[in-house]
Amino acid sequence: MDSFDKKVADLYNKNQTPDQLPEGFVWDEMSKGIYEKMESPNRKRKPLFWWLTFGGFILLVSVPGIFFIQKSNNIAPNQTTETSLPTIKEKSTFSSDKPIAEATQIGKEPSATATLQNTHPYISNNKISNKSIVLNNKKTKTLYQESKPIHVIELRDIMDLTTIESESIISTSSPETSVSGAEDFPESVNTKKSENTFATSVPASTTKTVVPSTLPLRWVTMSSDKIIAPNILLPKEKPTDTPSKIAIKFTPKVYGGTLLTTGKYTENQERNTYSRWSPGYYTGIDFTILAYKKWTLNLGYEHKFATQVLELNNIVDTVVITVENALTSITTNSLNGTTSENRETITTNGTRTRNYLHYNTFRSHALRLTLNRTFPLTPKWHLTTGFGGTYNFLNQARGTTLDLDGNKLEYSPDMPIYLKRNFAIDAGLSLEYKIGRIKLSGNLWLEKSLSFGLEPETSIQPTFYKIGVGAAFTL
């Protein structure tokens, strides 16, 4: 124990009266807690902040997730019935080489070539004429099925109808096109002005809207504007990205990129002369938890890593230099010419110059809550801006131990210093490209921290520039 230790030990242990008990520590107030602890010594202690933070986070994430999963399980069987059949009609193509009058001669020529593929039992009972009715669920537009000599009804199964999207085609292309099934349910065929693509030489300005004759009337009816069908067959509205009511969503997004940091010490500005930041990285995951029209609320976790370089040159230390057996003088006897050396131990103060070069690392674990607004640029490209807050709940700094000469300095490289928790303000924008349910994005965010540091003189308010990419997946 050196003298410093002894001094401190004496301050605490010698002739010192114990501290006075503060309010709230008297027996009457403490005894209840003491007896409770005696009765249940192994009781669980009160939840700590760490568990509260993560418990809340997990709760916030999992509840919408469970809600979504349950909801999606309920609607799964009907999920493909999302597109409304009216759109089939609206974008369908009807073509015929024959005048409408002929085309509407229903069932005059029983077909020997009609083909029905994968027909549902309901369908197989219906008459199929030799007139071509092609019902595809192709997602690319094929306006005219000219190459098909034989008229085919492609109804792979009854559920195929439910996957028809807005670009599906209903077309007839036979020279002798007619529409069958009208005898069975004549009210299902109307003549109307068509807004559809008309790819034939039909001179008439009116045309038919065609419905597959295979569908029983109780399933499909046609009006002048719409084809109405029960839910089991007909698609419903597809969910959009812009719900008109506040909706609970669960869209995870992973992201990451380069972290550029700037920041100056305000109290101890001298540190700014020898401190500089070098690029780091950030990564995180966030979840869209609420959506309203083009607004979304996101909650997520983020990890940041940065490096701060401390460089000091020409640090002068005072050191004690002791030289033992140093030759201090030589005495020569002038009478006999002999010499004698005088040696002694010399102690003196000296200086030592050193350079410091420290690569100190900084890590932060944070929760982010942001409010975002999406601006569709094109159907595929979206621009999203956001604003929110970050709570850096675990901040850690580590110092390394190499000087310019490669010598290890006297303290540990790996022992972290925990900095106080802090809040930060977030703002940024993302450019997103949508591929189905996946959104790829390029992100640019700025995070302005309120305060980091152990104490005022070393506190700093860094600004983090986050440049990176991300991928979101809509479940």
Partner 1 sequence: MVNQQIISLCQHGKQNGQRQLYEACAPYVYSTIKRYIWEVEDIKDTMQEVFANIFSHIDTYDASKGNFNTWIRKIAINQALMLIRKNKKISHLVPLDSIEEIPFGAADKYENLSREDIDKLLAKVPEGYRVVFTLFVIDGYHHKEIAALLDIKEETSRSQLARAKKWICHHLFNDQKNKAYGLF
SS3 content of the chain, % helix, strand, coil (to 5): 20, 40, 40
Backbone angles phi, psi at 70, to 5 degrees: -65, -45
Of 397, 391, 395, 396, nearest to 366 by C-alpha is: 391
Q: Does 155 bind partner 1 (CB under 8 A)?
A: no
Nearest to 303 by CA among 469, 62, 466: 466
Size of site (CB under 8 A) for partner 1? 71
For the bound state, the minimum distance from the C-beta of residue 460 to partner 1, rounded and expressed in Å, comes to 6
Tokens 């004429």 correspond to 129
Among 80, 361, 385, 474, indicate the residue that binds partner 1 (CB under 8 A). 361
Q: Does 232 sit near partner 1 (CB under 8 A)?
A: no
Q: Which is nearer to partner 1, 41 or 337 (CB)?
A: 41
SS3 label, residue 188: helix
Phi/psi-derived region of residue 445, left when phi > 0, alpha when psi is between -120 and 50, beta in every other case: beta
Q: Which of 69, 315, 326, 475 binds partner 1 (CB under 8 A)?
A: 315
7 binds partner 1 (CB under 8 A): yes
- Measured in whole angstroms, the distance separating CA 374 from the mean position of its chain's CA atoms is 15
Phi/psi for 324 (5° steps) reads -90, 145
Q: Kindly state whether residue 312 participates in binding partner 1, applying the rule CB under 8 A.
A: yes
Q: What is the DSSP letter of 342?
A: E
Which residues inside 43-72 make contact with partner 1, applying CB under 8 A? 45-46, 48
For 391-445, the DSSP string reads EEEEEEEE---BBTTS-B-SS-SS--EEEPPEEEEEEEEEEEEEETTEEEEEEEE
Q: Which residues contact 54 (CB under 8 A, 6 or more apart)?
A: none
Q: Which range in 53-61, 207-215, 222-230, 359-367 contacts partner 1 by CB under 8 A?
A: 359-367
Query: Restricting to residues 17-46, which ones interact with partner 1 according to CB under 8 A?
Result: 17-22, 24-25, 27, 30-31, 33-38, 41, 45-46
Q: Beta strands 206-208 and 221-222: pairing type?
A: unpaired
Candidates 117-125, 167-175, 192-200, 315-323; binding stretch for partner 1 (CB under 8 A): 315-323
The minimum distance between CB 447 and partner 1, in angstroms, equals: 17
Cα separation, 248 vs 342, in Å, equals 92
The answer to whether residue 244 forms part of the interface with partner 1 (CB under 8 A) is no
β-strand partners of 32: none
Q: Which is nearer to partner 1, 60 or 409 (CB)?
A: 409
Footprint on residues 410-469 left by partner 1 (CB under 8 A): 410-419, 452-455, 458-460
Region from 7-15, 119-127, 161-169, 195-203 binding partner 1, contact rule CB under 8 A: 7-15
95-134: contacts with partner 1 (CB under 8 A): none
* 405 is an interface residue for partner 1 by CB under 8 A: no
372 touches 298 (CB < 8 A)? yes
Binding of partner 1 by 351 (CB under 8 A): no
Q: Which is nearer to partner 1, 26 or 66 (CB)?
A: 26
Closer CB to partner 1, 142 or 461, in the complex: 461
Q: How far is the CB of 433 from partner 1 (least distance, A)?
A: 39
In angstroms, give the least distance from the CB of 390 to partner 1.
18
